[in-house]
């Protein structure tokens, strides 16, 4: 039985898994700044809130407070993601924001995935953290694997929920440039794709976030 990431069925026993691929570094500001080329002002930038993206079927509330998401004994390509959460003006950092992230392991499996492979624990590759006084967050994990969504693989991605007082809560996903499955995925948004660069034996990237002001 295949699954669609949009439905609420967490079971998809015919998934195949493998590691996601990554490309080299460029700034993660794609998440917050967009060229206004459509208006003939290619050199000017426009400030917009970070785009939302589907939650998918694997969210689990109450994740542990931690910034290293890799369980003991598990591996993959080390990955460090950092960024700043900004207010809607794209300039004011938001302190004490809740950043809740979750993703598949290096083989493309979630810890609450599948009826034929019941999870032995419930906190793998999930973590909550808060931004510091400068609006900064940072966590370490491994590059997520891809998983089948219907007939095609979803590109490697990390799910986010971000909340801050006075702002609209954001549910979104982070993707990585160079993933060959980005092109065929219905959910990817260009503004949510960042590049990764080499960092020791692993990868590193920046994903800045802009929250919309509460209506």
- Give CA–CA dist 206/25, Å, rounded: 9
- At its nearest, how many Å lie between Fe ion and the CB of residue 69? 14
Shortest Cβ distance from residue 57 to Fe ion (Å)? 8
User: Which positions ≥6 away from 38 have C-beta within 8 Å?
Assistant: none
Dihedrals φ, ψ of 176, to 5°?
-125, 125
Find the residue with minimal CB distance to Fe ion: 56
Show Cβ contacts of residue 112 under 8 Å, excluding neighbours closer than 6 positions. Answer: 10, 58, 60, 119, 122
Shortest distance (Å) from residue 192 CB to Fe ion: 13
Number of amino acids touching Fe ion (CB under 5 A): 1
Kindly tell me which of 56 and 76 has the beta carbon lying closer to Fe ion.
56
Cβ distance to Fe ion smaller for residue 94 or 101 = 101
**Closest C-alpha among 190, 147, 215, 204 to residue 50:** 190
Residues 42-101 binding Fe ion (CB under 5 A) are 56
Whole-angstrom Cα distance, residue 35 to residue 26?
16
What is the closest distance, in whole angstroms, from the C-beta atom of residue 102 to Fe ion in the complex?
A: 8
Q: Which is nearer to Fe ion, 56 or 205 (CB)?
A: 56
* 56 or 83: CB nearest Fe ion: 56
Residues interacting with Fe ion, by CB under 5 A? 56
């Amino acid at each position: 039985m295949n699954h669609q990431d949009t439905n609420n069925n967490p079971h998809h026993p015919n998934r195949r898994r493998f590691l996601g691929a990554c490309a080299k570094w460029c700034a993660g500001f794609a998440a917050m700044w967009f060229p206004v080329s459509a208006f003939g002002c290619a050199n000017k930038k426009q400030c917009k809130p970070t785009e939302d993206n589907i939650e998918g079927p694997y969210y689990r509330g109450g994740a542990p407070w931690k910034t290293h998401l890799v369980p003991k004994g598990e591996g993959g390509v080390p990955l460090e993601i950092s960024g700043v959460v900004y207010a809607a003006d794209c300039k004011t950092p938001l302190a004490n924001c809740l950043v809740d992230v979750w993703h598949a392991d290096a083989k493309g499996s979630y810890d609450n995935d599948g009826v034929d492979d019941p999870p032995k624990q419930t906190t793998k590759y999930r973590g909550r953290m808060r931004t510091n006084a400068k609006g900064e967050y940072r966590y370490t994990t491994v590059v997520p694997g891809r998983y089948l969504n219907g007939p095609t693989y979803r590109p490697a991605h990390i799910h986010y929920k971000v909340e801050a007082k006075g702002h609209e809560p954001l549910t979104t996903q982070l993707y990585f440039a160079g993933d060959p499955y980005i092109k065929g995925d219905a959910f990817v948004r260009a503004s949510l794709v960042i590049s990764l660069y080499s960092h020791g034996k692993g990868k590193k990237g920046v994903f800045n976030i802009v929250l919309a002001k509460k209506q």
